[in-house]
Amino acid sequence: MAYDPSNIFAKILRGEIPAYRVYEDERTLAFMDVMPQSDGHTLVVPKSPAENIFDLDPAMAAAVIQSGQKLARAVKHAFNADGVMLVQYNGPAAGQTVFHFHLHVVPRYADQPLRSHGRSMADARLLEEHAQRIRAALQAG
Ligand code: AMP
């Protein structure tokens, strides 16, 4: 399947639709997942057009992992998480629903099961509050 530039993350990257942005550098952007599987669930995307792991430039893969590591540290600190999961899906059969490569950064809390994948929209004020906590943790280093 060819990369479709009308996907929702491409629109976020172009600034055509809003997102709860938490981190940006030359090659990547990170923002809150609007249907979080746990509090602090964040997504990291490359700024280059890639549908999934199969067409992602290796240098961009490295950039996404570097940002993912920053975000993992920040969400762990911001939410006092017990652990952090880094996950990504390739192709509909694997559970991918948005066809611009993305890395899920999902804080985990002991004894708390994950909420369903991409199922229920979180409250806008809560997402903004969570985004602020992550930005503050990133700034604190
Ligand atoms: P995947 O199934 O791995 O392709 O994940 C897509 C993720 O994007 C899901 O976890 C959705 O909750 C999330 N999502 C969908 N639309 C948006 C959006 N506009 N802003 C932020 N996250 C989104």
Structural domain boundaries of the chain?
Answer: 8-140
| Res. 99: pLDDT tops 80 | yes
Nearest to 138 by CA among 30, 28, 41: 30
Query: Ligand 1 in contact with 7 (CB < 6 A)?
Result: no
What is the share, in percent, of the chain residues with pLDDT greater than 90? 94
CB atoms within 10 A of CB 116: 9
> What's the pLDDT score for residue 117?
84
- Distances in Å between the Cα of 88 and the Cα atoms of 18, 51, 106, 133, 136 are 22, 12, 11, 23, 25
Mean pLDDT (whole number) for 20-24:
98
Of 41, 77, 100, 102, which residue is the catalytic one?
Answer: 102
| 100 catalytic residue (yes or no) | no
Domain 8-140 has CATH 2.40.30.10: no
> What's the pLDDT score for residue 130?
98
Nearest to 87 by CA among 123, 18, 33, 7: 33
* Ligand 1 center to 94 CA (angstroms): 14
Confidence of residue 119 (pLDDT cuts 50, 70, 90): confident
